[in-house]
Amino acid sequence: MTIPPTHADTQMPLRVARACDVAKDIRSFELVQPDGSELPPFTPGSHVKVQAPNGSIRKYSLCNDPGERGRYVITVKRDISGQGGSLSMHEDLNEGDTLPTSLPSNAFPLVESAKSYLFIAGGIGITPILSMIRSFGELAAAPWKLIYLTRSPETTAFLDELGAPELKHRVRIHHSYGDPDRVFDLWPTLEKPNAAHVYCCGPRPLMEAVRDMTGHWSPASVHFESFNEGGGVRPDDQVFTVKLARSGGEFQVPVGKSILAALREHGYNAASSCESGTCGTCRTGLLCGEADHRDMVLMPEEMESQIMVCVSRARSPELVLDL
């Protein structure tokens, strides 16, 4: 396999020690140091960026136990409608190959002092949550439950592990088979706030539903993770202008590029972490203009004066930011 030039974010060349299918169109890759040495540590909920064989940069959760220092395990869903990164990982990456990888980062950290945990996973969104569950070992420090929503048993990653009889009292696996009449009703679980910390990862509609149902919960107790970097492209997206009030900069943001990416392109070092609108690190003051908010963080009363520049765009021709 020909390795493209290494990207600045993925300077750690790891070897694919093992590749195996864990469900239909879902493959796990075990990554190790070529010399067998320990890997940099990571915490539950962490992710790494990798440079796929086609050269694209993709972000994947580490789904193994953080106590394992000799390997990273990532799990990739084959997405035929994506931009080719997952297809390249499935079709071009084999055992023994080198995969340029970043150091671990965590935009979805586990609150270790929580009195209990409620995990809600949709599809491949199980991966960061699985690392959290595995980190508990046999004696978890606090009670936990998992609601795992998938289309069918065939497309359910780690079904044997999570469907084990000893986890029956903790794990609820629900298959919808693509039937809207079989959608799992989360409201009875989320109707009454309690001491649990809620962790949700999965398709955008699932996360938006959980966000809406937990609007009466403490915001500090509800956590989301998404891998839709840049917020994705929508049919009505338009080019718009960004003006920076303090530094005096001005530039256009084209369709398919985030404000954050445009800022960096023009020499501005903006803070960020998840780059998918779920962690709040890139929160920026909005002084003028109407934002098209696409994050999972801002409260309604904050939307006129704040914007998450990693995913959100503009409804007006121009935005003025406090930068």
The CATH class of 230-321 is alpha beta
Q: Which one of 3.40.50.80, 3.40.50.280, 3.90.700.10, 3.40.640.10 gives the CATH number of domain 116-227?
A: 3.40.50.80
How far apart are alpha carbons 50 and 74 in whole angstroms? 10
**Into which CATH architecture does domain 12-101 fall?**
Beta Barrel (2.40)
Q: Are 274 and 281 in contact (CB under 8 A)?
A: yes
Residue 111: its pLDDT value, please? 95
Residue 5: its pLDDT value, please? 58
Cβ-Cβ contacts under 8 Å for 162 (sequence gap 6 or more): 126, 130, 146, 148, 171, 173
In the chain, CATH 3.40.50.80 covers 116-227
How far apart are alpha carbons 161 and 23 in whole angstroms? 12
In the chain, CATH 2.40.30.10 covers 12-101
How far apart are alpha carbons 132 and 122 in whole angstroms? 15
DSSP state of 22: E
Summarize pLDDT for 167-219 with one digit per residue, the tens. 999 999 999 987 878 889 999 999 999 999 999 999 989 999 999 999 999 99
Report, as ranges of residue numbers, the positions in the chain whose pLDDT lies below 50: 1
Residue 270: its pLDDT value, please? 83
Question: CA 156, 162, 163, 169: dihedral to nearest 10 degrees?
Answer: -130
